[in-house]
Amino acid sequence: MTAKVGEKAPDFTMTTTENIDTLDHVVQLGDYQGKWLILFFYPLDFTFVCPTEIRGFNSRIEELRALGAEVLGVSTDSVYSHRAWIKTSQEEGGLGELHYPLASDITKQVAQDYGVLIEEKGISLRGLFIIDPEGVVRYQVVSDLNVGRSVGEIIRVLQALQTGGLCPIDWQAGEKTI
């Protein structure tokens, strides 16, 4: 099963950094039932573009939660690598404190199911999926490794999806739909 817009999102089970000390928290797609989920894949921990995106989501997490959405970042690194990166200060190339979890797709199955796995490298492309409260993929964007995403654009798209209406180009929250 590969993720497709308008269809049920592939289920997943991954260990996360939700409990940073024990790393024993396991997340499944069903945990987000009744909420919007921003599921984003990034290539690797301890890299250059990835922390800008992860911190970008972190800086706007309350805005996303106010819209009924949760965020889950995913890479093929282990939860131990995630924890080390979170516990490393930004000045030393780390992330610092996060207010949402990072998940480990160490088996690479989730990246494969969502169509973002680069098999020969064992990492994922920058894939982002907005999954609605019923578990249906409503939006996806996949980009190459070297281009970061815009959290502002993701929020705009989430708001547009939540209207249930037809939103023209450059639609912004508060504007009329078609």
Q: Which two tokens stand for residue 51?
A: 């922390």
167 in active site: no
Outline where DSSP puts E strands in the chain: 13-16, 25-28, 36-41, 69-75, 102-104, 117-118, 123-124, 126-131, 137-143
Pairing relationship of beta strands 123-124 and 126-131 according to DSSP bridges: unpaired
Reduce the DSSP state of residue 152 to 3 states and report it. Answer: helix
Catalytic residue of the set 27, 50, 117, 160? 50
Q: Which two tokens stand for residue 132?
A: 């609605």
Residues in the chain: 178
Q: Which two tokens stand for residue 165?
A: 């209406």
Residues labelled as active-site residues: 50
